[in-house]
Amino acid sequence: MRLELAWAMAELQRAWQEGNSSRQELGNLNVKLGHTRQELAVLQEEMQEVQGELRASKSTVSSLRACVNTDCCPSGWVLYRGKCLFISVSRKTWWESHHDCRMKSAQLLVQGNWPTWTLPQFLVMSDDMYWIAERDQNPHNKHERWDTDLYKGSWPKTCARILSNRMSYSNCLNNFSWICEKPPDLSSPLETL
């Protein structure tokens, strides 16, 4: 009887230790579960942000697709990489080119977020040079100063131009063709559809 009692006590002791060990494991698993839930909440939040950006991108893409078949760009302009481009056939100075773009409610082409200068293939194959604007150049802010400087004879000496996707500089008084840009009118295709 004593032997059975000792054996039962040993079994009870082992079961108690296993129970404590299981409780500790359960506690550790609960802590891990809490961390996993936090990570999941963060991932769900990030996923919602990405889904929102995706919806916005889809909307823009569908507008631009509609833009291809409707009048998002004025007549004589081409839609390229989400911009309406006007490519002149005449030649003017940089300032006259800039002024012409402003009269068209546009600006000289600026590189923007493109990794390199990329133009439609027919322009890349051309030997013509085109006046453009530099990314940090804001002629609208310089307009008054340049008008005043023009009378003083201190016109900027060099301005940006592009030839076959390569930007360089030339005397601003040279006569080249130019490229204007403006955003497409995305409201008209939606109304048309």
Q: What is the pTM of this model?
A: 0.54
Q: Are 115 and 58 in a shared domain? A: no
pLDDT digits (tens, 9 = 90+) for 150-162: 444 555 678 888 8
Domain that holds residue 101: 74-192
Q: Which of 77, 92, 85, 83 is nearest to 159 (CA)?
A: 92
Q: Are 117 and 185 in a shared domain? A: yes
Quick count: other Cβ atoms within 10 Å of Cβ 159?
25
pLDDT digits (tens, 9 = 90+) for 48-60: 998 888 877 666 6
Q: Are 52 and 93 in a shared domain? A: no
pLDDT digits (tens, 9 = 90+) for 64-117: 555 655 578 888 898 887 888 999 999 999 999 999 999 999 999 886 655 555
**φ/ψ (deg, to 5) at 86:** -110, 120
Q: Are 46 and 84 in a shared domain? A: no
Q: Are 101 and 166 in a shared domain? A: yes
Q: Are 35 and 98 in a shared domain? A: no
Number of domains in the chain: 2
Q: Say which CATH number the domain at 98 has.
A: 3.10.100.10
Mean pLDDT of the chain: 78
